[in-house]
């Protein structure tokens, strides 16, 4: 049973570029949340998707957007990249009626 899978594992982008990160939730999970984890800090909530809609959003600018597909997989898009966007981006999934999240291994984004 595959857990949460994320791609790519590492990515280097230039300031001003756009990036798309991908996540496939654990089998049986229908809710996906995205987190940004800067070095030495706790994961910061970006947004949550359920039934292909954004249900909750953290304190992140509109440059951060997402999507959930009918198969529950999800994408995180970041436009106009800034140096400060460099971080580990974690995808976490769960079933709607459970609280416990399973995390993916993350995508390490470096903006230069």
Partner 1 sequence: GENVEQHPSTLSVQEGDSAVIKCTYSDSASNYFPWYKQELGKRPQLIIDIRSNVGEKKDQRIAVTLNKTAKHFSLHITETQPEDSAVYFCAAPYSSASKIIFGSGTRLSIRP
CB of 16 to partner 1, least distance (A): 29
43 or 78: whose CB is closer to partner 1? 43
25 or 43: whose CB is closer to partner 1? 43
14 or 100: whose CB is closer to partner 1? 100
Residues found near partner 1 in the complex (CB under 8 A): 33, 35, 40-45, 48, 55-56, 58, 90, 92, 99-106
CB of 56 to partner 1, least distance (A): 4
**Which residues, listed in sequence order, are joined to residue 4 by a DSSP beta bridge?**
none
The DSSP annotation for 37-54 comes to E-TTS--EEEEEEETTEE
Helix runs in the chain, H state only: none
Q: State residue 42 phi and psi, 5-degree precision.
A: -80, 160
Token pair for residue 58? 């953290």
CB of 71 to partner 1, least distance (A): 21
62 or 99: whose CB is closer to partner 1? 99
Nearest-angstrom CA–CA distance, 52 and 30? 9
CB of 45 to partner 1, least distance (A): 5
Query: Could you tell me if 52 and 65 are in contact, meaning their C-beta atoms sit under 8 angstroms apart?
Result: no
């Amino acid at each position: 049973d595959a857990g949460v899978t994320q791609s790519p594992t590492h990515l280097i982008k230039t300031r001003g570029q756009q990036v798309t990160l991908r996540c496939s939730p654990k089998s049986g999970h229908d809710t996906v949340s995205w987190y940004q984890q800067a070095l030495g800090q706790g994961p910061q909530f970006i947004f949550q998707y359920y039934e292909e809609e954004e249900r909750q959003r953290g304190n992140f600018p509109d440059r951060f957007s997402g999507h959930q597909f009918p198969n529950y997989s999800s994408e995180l898009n970041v436009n106009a990249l800034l140096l400060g966007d460099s971080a580990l981006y974690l995808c976490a999934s769960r079933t709607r009626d459970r609280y416990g999240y399973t995390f993916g291994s993350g995508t390490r984004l470096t903006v230069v």
